[in-house]
Chain A
Amino acid sequence: MTVVDLSSRRADAAAAPPRAVLEVRDLVTHFPTRTGVVKAVDGVSFTVERGKTLCVVGESGSGKSVTARSILQIVDQPGRIVSGSMLLHRPDGSAVDLATLHPRGREIRAVRGAEIAMIFQEPMSSLSPVHTVGDQIMEVLLLHLRLSKKEARARTVELLRQVEIPHPDKAVDRYTFEFSGGMRQRVMIAMALACNPAMLIADEPTTALDVTTQAEILDLIKRLQQQHGMAVMFITHDMGVVAEIADEVLVMYHGKVMEAGPVDQIFHAPQNDYTKMLIGSVLKLEQKAEIRLKRAPLAEDAPSVIEIDNLKMHFGSPAAPIRAVDDVSLQVKAGETLGIVGESGSGKTTMGRCLLRIYQPTGGAMRYRKADGTVVDLVTADKETLKLCRREIRMIFQDPVGSLNPRMTVAQIIGEPLLVNGIAKGSELDDRVSVLMDQVGLNPDWRERYPHAFSGGQRQRIGIARAISLNPRVIVADEATSALDVSLRSQMLDLMMRLQDELKLSYVFISHDIGVIRYMCDRVSVMYQGRVVETGSTDQVCDAPQHAYTQALLSAIPRPDPRLRSMHKRHRYIA
Chain B
Amino acid sequence: MTDVAFAAIDQRKVAVASQWQLVWWAFKRHRLAMIGLWVTAFFYLIAVIPGFFAINDPSQQNARAAYQPPQGLHFIDTAADGSWSFRPYFHPTTLKRDPQTLAAVHVPDTSRKIYVTMFGEGYEYSVLGVFSARTHLFVSSEARQPLFLLGADRLGRCVWSRIMQGTQISLSVGLVGVFLSLLLGIVLGGISGYYGGRIDFVIQRTIEFILALPTIPIWLAMAAALPQDWPATLNYFMITVILSLTGWAQLARVVRGRFLSLRTEEFVTAARLDGASEGRIIFRHMLPSFASHIIASITLAIPAMILAETSLSFLGLGLQPPTISWGVLLREAQNIRSIATAPWLFAPGIAVVIAVIALNFLGDGLRDAADPYNK
What is A's interface to B at a CB cutoff of 8 Å? 33-36, 356, 358, 387, 390-391, 394-395, 397, 399, 402-407, 409, 416-417, 420-421, 446, 448-450, 452-453, 466
From A36, A391, A403, A409, B267 is in contact (CB under 8 Å) with: A403
Provide a sorted-by-A list of 8 A–B residue pairs whose CB atoms are within 8 angstroms. Answer: A34-B8, A36-B7, A397-B266, A397-B269, A420-B276, A450-B15, A452-B22, A453-B11
Q: Which residues of B contact A387 (CB under 8 A)?
A: 275
Verify A446–B15 contact, CB threshold 8 A: yes
Q: Which residues of B contact A446 (CB under 8 A)?
A: 15
Verify B276–A416 contact, CB threshold 8 A: yes
Residues 8 to 66 of chain B near chain A (Cβ within 8 Å): 8, 11, 14-19, 22
How far does the Cβ of B282 sit from chain A's closest Cβ, in whole Å?
A: 13
Verify A453–B16 contact, CB threshold 8 A: yes
Q: Which residues of A contact B285 (CB under 8 A)?
A: 405
Q: Which residues of B contact A407 (CB under 8 A)?
A: 18-19, 288-289
Task: Indicate whether B373 reaches chain A with its CB closer than 8 angstroms.
Answer: yes
Verify A450–B18 contact, CB threshold 8 A: yes
Verify A390–B271 contact, CB threshold 8 A: no
Interchain CA distance A399-B264 in the complex, whole Å = 13
Verify B17–A450 contact, CB threshold 8 A: yes
Q: Which residues of B contact A450 (CB under 8 A)?
A: 15-18
Interface centre among A358, A394, A403 (most CB of B within 10 A): A403
From B4, B14, B267, B288, A35 is in contact (CB under 8 Å) with: B4
From B19, B275, B280, B373, A390 is in contact (CB under 8 Å) with: B275
Closest to A35 in B: B7
Interchain CA distance A498-B312 in the complex, whole Å = 71
Interface centre among A33, A391, A407 (most CB of B within 10 A): A407
From B7, B8, B275, B373, A420 is in contact (CB under 8 Å) with: B275
How far does the Cβ of A462 sit from chain B's closest Cβ, in whole Å?
A: 11
Closest to A353 in B: B269
What is B's interface to A at a CB cutoff of 8 Å? 2, 4-5, 7-8, 11, 14-19, 22, 265-267, 269-277, 280, 285, 288-289, 373
Answer whether A35 and B273 are a contact pair too, CB < 8 Å, given A407-B289, A446-B15, A450-B16.
no
Interchain CA distance A397-B373 in the complex, whole Å = 19
From B5, B269, B276, B373, A358 is in contact (CB under 8 Å) with: B269
How far does the Cβ of B283 sit from chain A's closest Cβ, in whole Å?
A: 12
Verify A395–B270 contact, CB threshold 8 A: yes
Verify A394–B273 contact, CB threshold 8 A: yes
Closest to A398 in B: B266
Q: Which residues of A contact B373 (CB under 8 A)?
A: 406, 452
Verify A403–B273 contact, CB threshold 8 A: no
Answer whether A399 and B274 are a contact pair too, CB < 8 Å, given A407-B288, A450-B16, A453-B15.
no
Interchain CA distance A397-B266 in the complex, whole Å = 8
Closest to B264 in A: A402
Verify B267–A416 contact, CB threshold 8 A: no
Interchain CA distance A399-B266 in the complex, whole Å = 8
Verify B4–A404 contact, CB threshold 8 A: no
5 cross-chain pairs, A with B, having the tightest CB-CB distances, nearest first = A453-B15, A403-B266, A35-B7, A417-B274, A402-B266
Verify B277–A420 contact, CB threshold 8 A: yes
How far does the Cβ of B268 sit from chain A's closest Cβ, in whole Å?
A: 8
Interchain CA distance A402-B265 in the complex, whole Å = 7
Closest to A453 in B: B15
Interchain CA distance A391-B273 in the complex, whole Å = 8
Interchain CA distance A483-B8 in the complex, whole Å = 28
Verify A416–B15 contact, CB threshold 8 A: no
Beyond A403-B269, A453-B14, 19 extra complex contacts between A and B, CB < 8 Å:
A33-B4, A34-B7, A35-B4, A390-B273, A391-B275, A402-B265, A403-B266, A405-B271, A405-B289, A409-B16, A416-B271, A420-B277, A421-B274, A421-B275, A448-B16, A449-B15, A452-B2, A453-B11, A453-B15
Interchain CA distance A33-B5 in the complex, whole Å = 9
Closest to A454 in B: B15
Interchain CA distance A402-B280 in the complex, whole Å = 19
How far does the Cβ of B208 sit from chain A's closest Cβ, in whole Å?
A: 24
How far does the Cβ of A198 sit from chain B's closest Cβ, in whole Å?
A: 36
Q: Which residues of A contact B7 (CB under 8 A)?
A: 34-36
Verify B275–A449 contact, CB threshold 8 A: no
Interchain CA distance A94-B169 in the complex, whole Å = 77
Answer whether A466 and B16 are a contact pair too, CB < 8 Å, given A33-B4, A397-B266.
no
Q: Which residues of B contact A448 (CB under 8 A)?
A: 16
Q: Which residues of A contact B274 (CB under 8 A)?
A: 416-417, 420-421, 466
Interface centre among B8, B265, B275 (most CB of A within 10 A): B275
From B5, B19, B273, B276, A395 is in contact (CB under 8 Å) with: B273
Q: Which residues of B contact A358 (CB under 8 A)?
A: 269, 272-273
Q: Which residues of A contact B15 (CB under 8 A)?
A: 446, 449-450, 452-453
Q: Which residues of B contact A421 (CB under 8 A)?
A: 274-275
Closest to B280 in A: A420
Q: Which residues of A contact B22 (CB under 8 A)?
A: 452
Answer whether A403 and B16 are a contact pair too, CB < 8 Å, given A35-B4, A390-B275, A421-B275.
no
Interchain CA distance A450-B18 in the complex, whole Å = 7
Interchain CA distance A36-B274 in the complex, whole Å = 42
Closest to A36 in B: B7
Q: Which residues of B contact A402 (CB under 8 A)?
A: 265-267
How far does the Cβ of B269 sit from chain A's closest Cβ, in whole Å?
A: 6
How far does the Cβ of B278 sit from chain A's closest Cβ, in whole Å?
A: 11
Q: Which residues of B contact A453 (CB under 8 A)?
A: 11, 14-16
Verify B270–A403 contact, CB threshold 8 A: yes
Q: Which residues of B contact A466 (CB under 8 A)?
A: 270, 274
Verify A449–B16 contact, CB threshold 8 A: yes
